[in-house]
Amino acid sequence: MKMTVSGVRSGLTMVALACVSFASMTVSAQAPQGDAKHGKAISYTCLGCHGIEGYKNAYPMYSVPKLEGQHPEYLTAALQGYRSGDRAHLTMHSQASTLSDQDIADIAAYFAGKPLVSQGKPTGTPPQAATLCVSCHGQDGVAIAPMYPSLAGQHEDYIVRALDEYRKGGRKNPIMKGFAATLKDEDIQAIAQYFSHEQTPTLSTESRPYTRLTAEPEHDTERGQ
């Protein structure tokens, strides 16, 4: 059944309101203020995956997500989801389960760096499958609220994996679960392609190939950390 133009607009309005309302409630919660300096000091295990360009999850195989440029509020919510089990990933659950709320906020502040800022000029027209996505994730893939992930430049296979997890229940966000349930494989591929390859500015991978026992690269001073 084809949706009418008015039906699509109505759906967009409802999703946008849900996004903003949920984000406002979550942001208003008393979350610890992140300390990027401390986050850097305790993030050495995170960098074993998130600090290597092109690194892939072993099984199933898909690219580890880019984190630099996300909002710290979203990264905090994601880590809390792995800790609670709302997101199913054994390694991430094991890592996050050892972290306090303050640790999570600090790591999120460090990895976020400078969050992406929308340029207001998307490249091309979103595919029909992404019509509702842009209500929360932005026309150019830069999220409209800090509690939602920016998708611009994110690895295509990671976006595919994330949507599939929402569709199959591996992630339990109620808004995303309901949306993803309606998607076909080709819809997911079109969404991932649009956001990962066509939009700017883009997320990037933390490039810090040091460990606790080695010297830190000088370019970290550029971000004041």
Q: What is the pLDDT of residues 28-44, one digit of tens each?
A: 456 789 999 999 999 99
Number of domains in the chain: 1
Instruction: Characterise 143 by phi-psi region: left (phi > 0), alpha (psi -120 to 50), beta (else).
Output: beta
Token readout for 30 is 């008393």
Model pTM score: 0.82
Instruction: Give the structural domain span for 54.
Output: 36-210
CATH number of domain containing 135 = 1.10.760.10
- Residue at 19 is within a domain: no
- Residue at 133 is within a domain: yes
Q: Terminal CA-to-CA distance of the chain, rounded, Å?
A: 53
- Residue at 217 is within a domain: no
- Residue at 75 is within a domain: yes
Give 66-90 pLDDT, tens digit per residue: 999 999 999 999 999 999 999 999 9
- Residue at 202 is within a domain: yes
pLDDT for 208 equals: 63
- Residue at 23 is within a domain: no
CA–CA distance, 21 with 25 (Å, rounded to integer): 6
pLDDT for 24 equals: 42
Give 136-193 pLDDT, tens digit per residue: 999 999 999 999 999 999 999 999 999 999 999 999 999 999 999 999 999 999 999 9
pLDDT for 101 equals: 97
- Residue at 218 is within a domain: no
